[in-house]
Structure 1
Amino acid sequence: MPGFAPPVTDERTALTAYLAHQRRTLRVTAHGLTDDQARMAASASELSIGGLIKHAARCETFWTDLILQQQSGPRRSADESDADEFELAQDETLADALAAHAEAASRTDAVIAGIPDLSQAVPVPRGLPWFPAEVEEWSVRWVLLHLIEETARHGGHADVIRESLDGATLYPLLAAAERWPDPWFRPWNPRN
């Protein structure tokens, strides 16, 4: 796949293509990592690539549940912290996090494909301090834009973490993961 989102013909295609592209660039930051490397917080923050992918999967699930009006309350239990959501625990694997992310993305894509109008209302959850109390609903369009923003933000975090881990950057990782031909980008190789 190219390093950019494909050309788009309409709003729905644009939103879903850009979301797919941001997902792919987040996922490729994990290319070639071991579970232990995926758990490492290699920058000034406590974030790890595995934890970011786990969080991105939970975010997509949360927002898709909202679209379907299946969300009944906070996403986590009272004994779970922010760290739990952003951490790949010792009993979790990178492969598990990637599979959960792919499953959440596939579900989101299927739900969006079945919605005829992106203006469809999505109720704003109540009782969560980060949601505006004065806003009663968003549109599916807004949710897609937010998912693009959220995924891109965490993809940027993952880029910094990956470069801190072993010097790998996005385009050499894409070249390695997708077997791009030389000479444009030297594919990442753990021995380089």
Structure 2
Amino acid sequence: MPGQVGAISNEREGLLAYLAHMRYVLKLTAYGLTPEQLRATPAAGTLSVGGLIKHCSATEEGWIDTVRRQPQKVDYEAYNANFHLADDEPIEAVLAEYDRVAAKTEETVAGIDDLGQAVPVDHSVPWNPKDLDNWSVRWVLLHLIQETARHTGHADIIREAIDGGTAYPIMAAAENWPDSPWMQKWKPSGDQQA
């Protein structure tokens, strides 16, 4: 996938393309990391690359289930667990789950004629406004882009603290871009190959 979203022809395509791009860039923060590095929390808080990917996947599915009007139970313990990659949880399973959630999002949005369709506000959580009864599907997609982008920024910082890897060199390595005078592919620490 290129480093930028391509041309878009309509609002729905644009919202889905930007969400897909943010998912992809977030997943790239895990590229080349060991299981220990995926769980590392090098900042003052408890965020890890693996945990952030897991959280964004669960958050997106929760919102899409809300759009689909599927009943949900707000579970504080499950919410907190989604920020952590368990010791026996392989990143491949987390990435596959995120791909499944992405497909569910695409399918759900494709089946909605009007992005202005009402989506009920969950008043049981403290961060939602009490004076608003409905979001729109459009708002949900914009919120998912915002949420994923914010956590991608967190993951970028954590990744750079772990091994110095940054977004475009990691993307260049993952996609095997040719090296150029201004962009060199990321290489694992200790990799002496030129």
| Same fold (TM > 0.5) | yes
Letter in 1 for 2:154: H
**Residues 62 and 71 in structure 1, CA contact (< 8 A), matched pair in contact too:** no
Residue of structure 1 in register with 2:27 after alignment = 27
CA distance in 1 between counterparts of 2:101 and 2:133 reads 25
Residue of structure 2 in register with 1:136 after alignment = 133
| TM-score using structure 1 length | 0.94
**Residues 119 and 140 in structure 1, CA contact (< 8 A), matched pair in contact too:** yes
1:88 paired residue among 85, 88, 94: 85
Residue of structure 2 in register with 1:187 after alignment = 185
1:152-171 paired onto structure 2 within 5 Å: 152-171=149-168
Residue of structure 2 in register with 1:99 after alignment = 96
- Give 1:81 deviation, angstroms: 6.0
Residue of structure 2 in register with 1:18 after alignment = 18
**Residues 42 and 161 in structure 1, CA contact (< 8 A), matched pair in contact too:** yes
Which secondary structure does the structure 2 equivalent of 1:122 belong to?
strand
CA distance in 1 between counterparts of 2:174 and 2:71 reads 35
CA distance in 2 between counterparts of 1:111 and 1:34 reads 34
CA distance in 2 between counterparts of 1:71 and 1:166 reads 41
CA distance in 2 between counterparts of 1:65 and 1:143 reads 11
CA distance in 1 between counterparts of 2:24 and 2:177 reads 15
Residue of structure 2 in register with 1:39 after alignment = 39
| TM-score using structure 2 length | 0.93
Which secondary structure does the structure 2 equivalent of 1:33 belong to?
coil
Deviations 1:119-145 (A, max 9, x none): 111011132211111110000000000
CA distance in 2 between counterparts of 1:111 and 1:121 reads 14
Which secondary structure does the structure 1 equivalent of 2:135 belong to?
strand
Residue of structure 2 in register with 1:5 after alignment = 5
1:72–1:82 CA distance, 2 compared to 1 (3 A): closer
Deviations 1:139-175 (A, max 9, x none): 0000000000000000000000000000000000000
Which secondary structure does the structure 1 equivalent of 2:73 belong to?
coil
1:115 paired residue among 104, 112, 117: 112
- Verify: 1:174 aligned to 2:171, yes or no: yes
List, as ranges, runs of 4+ consecutive aligned residues in structure 1 with deviation greater than 3 Å.
none
Q: Which runs of 5+ in 1 are unaligned?
A: none
CA distance in 2 between counterparts of 1:157 and 1:40 reads 13
Q: Which runs of 5+ in 2 are unaligned?
A: none
| Matched residue count | 189
Letter in 2 for 1:69: R
